Structures are given as C-alpha cells and as structure tokens.
Amino acid sequence: MIHARHTFPQSFLWGTATSSHQVEGENSSNDWASWEAIPGKIADGARSDRACGWWAGAWREDLDRAREGHQNAHRLSIEWSRIQPTPDTWDGEAMERYREMLQGVRQRGMQPMVTLHHFTNPQWLSEQGGWLHPQVAEWFARYVSKVVAELGDLTGLWVTINEPNVYAYAAHASGEFPPGHQDIGEAIHVMVNMLRAHGLAYHAIHGVQPHAQVGIAHHYRGMQPSRTWNPLDRLVANIRSSIFNRALPEACRSGELRLPWRRIAVPEAKGTQDFFGLNYYTRERVAFDFSAYSELFGRSLYPESAEVSPTGFIANEPEGFWEALRWAHGYELPLYVTENGVEDDADTFRRRYLVDHLRELWRAANFNWRVKGYFHWTLVDNFEWERGWTQRFGLWALDPVSQVRTKRPSADLYAAICQANALTSDIVAEHVPERFDALFPEHRPGEFSRDPLG
C-alpha cells in the first residue's frame, strides 16, 4: 500500500468556526430574536432558544473538545447587540463575558480569530433601517473601536464582517433574513454601506492595534454555465459571479464597487485587507431563466452526477474549492479558509467531503501560496438561521433540548489531521478508506501535478 504524507506549513492554524447567535442562545436584543417569532420564517418553526448554551457557559466544554481534538485555533464572533444593547449604552458585563471566552481560547493553547459582525444586528439598529441607514458605517466603527480597545490584548486577528455578499442577498434580495426585503437595489445599497463600515472599522482597529491583521470573510460560490454552448447561460453565470463573488473583494482593493451596469466609489474600503478570508462550501451550475428576476435571471442547479449532501444543500465539488483558492491567491494576501464544511447528520458524506477539500488546500500550500489556516464549519451542531435545526454541520452532534453532545467519527478524522499537521495515507485508510485510491493514486511515469495556475 502507498504511504504518503501531505504536510501543511509549520504554524498552520487548524480550528473550527462558530458565530455568536448560532451557539450562544438567550438573546432577545437582536433582529433574529424577533424574526424567529414570526410564523413561517424558520424551518419547522424552530427557535434558537438556548442554541448550544454558550452564553450559559457551555463554551468551556466545547472548547475543551476542540483542544482535545488537537485544534490550535478557534474563530468566534462578538454579538453587537450584547455589547451595545441601546444606542447610548455599553454593557460591561457582556464585554467581560467575551473577555472570559477569549481567555478560555488562549488558555487552551488556541489562537482566537474574532468576527465583529456575523449576520445579526441590534434590534435598535434594525428599527432605524439597519444597513440602509446612512450612519450605519460610523455606528459600526464606533462599536468596533470599543471592542478592540477592551479585548485587543487577547487577539490581533480580526474579521470585520462575515459574508457581506450573503447578508446583503439574504436580507434584501431573497428575503430569507430579516428584514425580509426583496429589492436588488437595496441589496447593492447594503453592500456599499458594508464596504464603508469595513473600511472605517479597518482603520479604527489599526488605530488601536497598529500590528493587527484585519480582513473580511468572503463567501465564494463557484458558478459555471449549465450549458457551456448556451451564451445566455454563460452570460448569467458571469454576471452573477461578478456581483456575488468578485465585486466586494475587488472593492477592498480598488475602492470601487464594480457592477456590470454601474461603478460606485467607496474610497473608505481601498487597501483594507491584511489577509483574505475565504468561506467555501460548494459550486453550482447556472441556467438562464427569464422568470428568475430576484436571482438575476439565473437558476441554480447541481449536475445529476454530483455527490450531494443528505439535505441536497451542498455538492461535493473540491475542484470548485481549488478554483476559489486560486482566485483568492490572486489578491496576493495571506489566506485563511475561514469556513468550509457540510451538513450531514449521519456523518458519512462529511468525511469524504473533508478529505477531498483538504487535499485541494494542501495543493495550494504545496505551491507555496500563503495559506495560513483552516477553520472547519463547525465544532458542534448549531442553529442554522432560516434552516433552524434541520441541518447539522457539527463535528459533534447536539440535542438542542437536552444539550447532550455526541462525538461524530469526523471529529476523530479531523483530530488526526490536526495532530499530524498533514493529510496522510494512513489517516485516510483508517477513516475514509473509500477515498484512498482517489487521493493517493499510484504514480505512473510521465504524470505530473496540475499547473497551479492552469
């Protein structure tokens, strides 16, 4: 049997990612608390309720699990609504609880990466128009300055905003997130305001911490024409990808939001990334559909041959991950994979998905691209927004009623990879034997690695 070892760089960060509302529970002061109470907004009428119990202290045992799984980093988020429950008040007790969490990460020998906005807004902000308000960028920067001044001694690795493209789309185009609007013009307006907020926050952080590393967690979703011969499929796939994937990170480089029909100057955002955060889950095919106005006249689908997750939400497309890595590498910044994972309660699909994608990540590292870390989504099953508890992304299963955790086999697989700092043939043979031949094929004379830029 072949014995091979795909080793990652020294000091590589191996972790999991979580977000405040999805794991903390017991929050009645943000826009999701009221959104969950509206019938029909959440699958099965579910509520976050206690979520994973982190606000009550369950973060301790979950971080113990992460550390026992040989993780050396953890990405978590701060809940704006807890820190600033009203426009004129700051909650010192909430700040102290986040200090305790971050100390807990560090005490377990893990590096914290802290996200400052992960989809939720204070209720007071929502009542004033949310991310459509002309002063929202300044308000966000003020909140960020407060957090960094109080907690900056515990981390220097900051994500200002998680997936601004997803937030703008889900809250203001598809209507799945609060406030539930369906207006593409509004979504573009929100993107501009989020870019401004990121830019102001970036400079605010560096004003407190000159040597901080600051970035955005960009969601990249591969989009290919369903029928390559069809010019309309090609056009729609390119337009959707230019808006959803490329527009925001390019604006962080150039200071200009470039849309197919318009350019909007956002000078605050120019040159405001110290690293590139990449969230990748899957790749899709796009077919032209004149009736799909809110989807920019494109209909998304997976090929019939695709290996699809149990709920049909994600296709196992590691080549799409390679495309995303190559695209992100083009920004010439240190690169963190800030999210990657799949929903799979039975935990059979997840193991294949994980090793297939880490093989592509190793290829990027092997080409000396500046890949610095990988954060799996997620540590323990959590509240998955409008999908409630119907999708299970955790390395550990959670019963949200009893709060009992159960380790999934993928937790042991990921622990072995983290401990080895490598994807090895022995690990794959033990945990995912059905993927062995695909990941470690016998070498044949004349075969070479693929061109990294090809």
Count how many residues are written for the chain.
454
Name which of 377, 380, 362, 379 is nearest 325 in CA terms. Answer: 362
Say how far apart CA 273 and CA 311 lie, in whole Å.
35
Backbone torsions φ then ψ of 139, nearest 5 degrees: -65, -40
Say how far apart CA 279 and CA 220 lie, in whole Å.
6
Three-state secondary structure call for residue 308: strand
In Å, how far from its chain's centre is CA 353?
A: 16
Say how far apart CA 382 and CA 392 lie, in whole Å.
7
Backbone torsions φ then ψ of 46, nearest 5 degrees: -75, 160
Q: Which pLDDT does position 3 carry in this prediction?
A: 86
What's the chain's Rg over C-alpha atoms? 21
**Degrees to nearest 5, angle at CA 340 with 293 and 308:** 65
The verdict on whether omega for the bond into residue 378 sits within 30 degrees of 0, i.e. cis, is yes
Three-state secondary structure call for residue 26: coil
Cβ count near 424 (within 10 Å): 17
How is residue 396 written in tokens?
Answer: 């550990």
Three-state secondary structure call for residue 323: helix
Q: Which pLDDT does position 280 carry in this prediction?
A: 98
Three-state secondary structure call for residue 128: coil
How is residue 49 written in tokens?
Answer: 């309720």
Q: Which residues contact 378 (CB under 8 A, 6 or more apart)?
A: 16, 17, 18, 22, 341, 393, 394, 395
Backbone torsions φ then ψ of 263, nearest 5 degrees: -125, 135
- How does strand 256-259 pair with strand 262-265? antiparallel
Q: Which pLDDT does position 451 carry in this prediction?
A: 54
> Domains, the chain, ranges and CATH?
5-439 (3.20.20.80)
Per-residue model confidence as pLDDT tens for the chain (454 residues): 678 999 999 999 999 999 999 999 999 999 999 999 999 999 999 999 999 999 999 999 999 999 999 999 999 999 999 999 999 999 999 999 999 999 999 999 999 999 999 999 999 999 999 999 999 999 999 999 999 999 999 999 999 999 999 999 999 999 999 999 999 999 999 999 999 999 999 999 999 999 999 999 999 999 999 999 999 999 999 999 999 999 999 999 999 999 999 999 999 999 999 999 999 999 999 999 988 776 788 889 999 999 999 999 999 999 999 999 999 999 999 999 999 999 999 999 999 999 999 999 999 999 999 999 999 999 999 999 999 999 999 999 999 999 999 999 999 999 999 999 999 999 999 999 999 999 999 865 444 455 565 5
Q: Which pLDDT does position 453 carry in this prediction?
A: 54
Q: Which residues contact 379 (CB under 8 A, 6 or more apart)?
A: 16, 17, 18, 62, 65, 66, 74, 394, 395, 396
Three-state secondary structure call for residue 304: coil
**Degrees to nearest 5, angle at CA 395 with 42 and 399:** 50
Name which of 301, 382, 292, 294 is nearest 341 in CA terms. Answer: 382
